[in-house]
Amino acid sequence: MKTIHLLIIILVYSSFLCTSVTYGQSFSASMQVEKTKTQNRSDPEDGDPCPGQPTVTDSEGNVYNTVLIGGQCWMAENLNIGTMICGGYGMDQLNNGIIEKYCYNDDPNLCDAYGGLYQWREMMDYSNEPGAQGICPDGWHIPTTDEWLQLRDYVGSVNGGQILKSCRQIDSPLGGDCDTNEHPRWNDDGTGLYYGIDDLNFSALPGGNRYMYGGFYNLGTQAYWWSSSEHNTYHSAYWSMGYNVNGLPNLANWYKEDGYSVRCVKTYTPEIIKTLNLNDISIPPDPDDCFAASSQITVSDFTVANGGSVTLVTGHSGKILLQEGTVVQNGGYLRAWIDVAGNYCDQPESMLATGMQDESLQQTFKLSERSQAGLKLYPNPTTGLITLEITDAETSGSISVQIFGIRGETIQQAILSGSHNYIFDLSGQAAGVYFLRLMMDGQVAFVKLIKQ
């Protein structure tokens, strides 16, 4: 019993140490080396502060420098927001309404120098959506794997890591302010071959990691940053750089319970027009086009040729009106998306089907003037059953009908012939937007269905 009481005392005392003791020297999170920006890159703005936003401030008032690289606006420093908790065994960050962080060796001054260390779920603010804001400032988000790849591909060099690393290092061969023993800095591997030059002012620093079962490792030798793109329920993608490597950052997956550094990237908000009318347009083979409008897209006399591909995107409360004359030839593709995240043509994976009312939808349509078939679809919107009425069909072959979801998945399909009424049952499907594809005599037409 005495041993148990002693253990309780130690744990309480350890928690007290984590949250109230100040260690040694204080460091500035924005400590940078003065240097002249490289002038020989293709984009003269690379390495400059982001236009119109040289700094960004988080919800606690911490100010971070920004840097423009290859059209992306990044934080030039690791995020350092939240209340420090101990990094010992069992001390996970919790979904309790408080942003919690680890500081290396439970030293708040090392958070000032290298930024905080965060478990993946805490960093994401308990969202699983790639590109979520997470704990980043408003207007910024946790970078996806694709955004990290864009940075890596833009740097595109065998010494990409050297270009992105801060030059602050023990025994840096660059000398001057780059040669330092003071935090923040990289360790020296002893060969003199590996060192940062920070050519683009990304200023990568080796904040190490907090191991999932407690304890801290790799300060001065490894930099780890989370991606918002999870690998599966237990693992997420992360990026790393080592003190003894000059190559590009490495991509891998690891347990979400580890504590890593965080860099935020500015959220790009495209300028989207409100309404768009697509009339008398033919999309030839090969192009993969995307048309976007925030409120409404109206399509008529619109043809997608065999091999052509078109995506239509509108905002979450918008409409897409597929009217008479919308034809997709066999081998062509027409996709319609309702974008709930505001990314429009940039990130179609964020687009979902949502319920919409569309009073302007043409419910009588034809494949072509030479086709004498009368085609009607009702009721639309429907709560379940929907009737396709085909009258006076003059066709040399069968009529193919396919109903598919907004992501392209087949819901129902049938081969029809003659003049009949055909009933399709959508009762078991979720409310939202669907499409009916009808092919007759080598021509294809689409009509949108609304399931309430």
Strand ranges, E, within 114-245: 140-141, 209-210, 216-217, 222-230, 235-242
Burial class (CB in 10 A: 0-12, 13-18, 19+), 270: exposed
Alpha helices in 21-69 (DSSP H): none
Domain boundaries, the chain: 33-266, 275-451
Pairing of strands 421-425, 385-391: antiparallel
Reported as a single tens digit per residue, the pLDDT across 407-439 is 667 788 777 766 567 788 888 888 887 877 777
Length of the chain: 452
Three-state SS string over 365-430 comes to ECCCCCCCCEEEEECCCECCEEEEEEECCCCCCCEEEEEEECCCCEEEEEEECCCCEEEEECCCCC
**Would you say the C-alpha torsion 225, 61, 129, 435 has a positive or negative sign?**
negative
Confidence (pLDDT) at 222: 96
Q: Do residues 283 and 304 lie in contact, with contact meaning Cβ atoms separated by under 8 Å?
A: yes
The pLDDT value recorded for residue 392 is 57
pTM of the model: 0.58
The reported pLDDT for the residue numbered 126 is 96
- Dig out the tokens for 259 from the structure: 């504590």
Query: 215 is written with which tokens?
Result: 């304890």
Which residues in the chain land under pLDDT 50?
A: 1-17, 19-44, 348-373
pLDDT of residue 396: 54
The beta-strand segments (E) located in 197-318 are 209-210, 216-217, 222-230, 235-242, 250-255, 265-266, 275-283, 288-293, 296-304, 309-315
Q: Check residue 262 and give its pLDDT.
A: 98
Work out the number of other CB atoms within 10 angstroms of the CB of residue 296.
17
Q: What pLDDT, on the 0 to 100 scale, is given for residue 372? A: 37
pLDDT of res. 199: 92
C-alpha–C-alpha distance, residues 321 and 297, integer Å: 6
* Closest C-alpha to 26, from 184, 201, 217: 184
Instruction: Provide the pLDDT for residue 294.
Output: 80
Q: Which amino acid is at 61?
A: G
The number of beta carbons lying within 10 Å of the beta carbon of residue 161 is 24
Predicted pLDDT at 421: 72
Is 275-451 a domain of CATH 3.30.930.10? no
| pLDDT tens digit sequence for 351-377 | 333 332 333 333 334 444 333 346 677
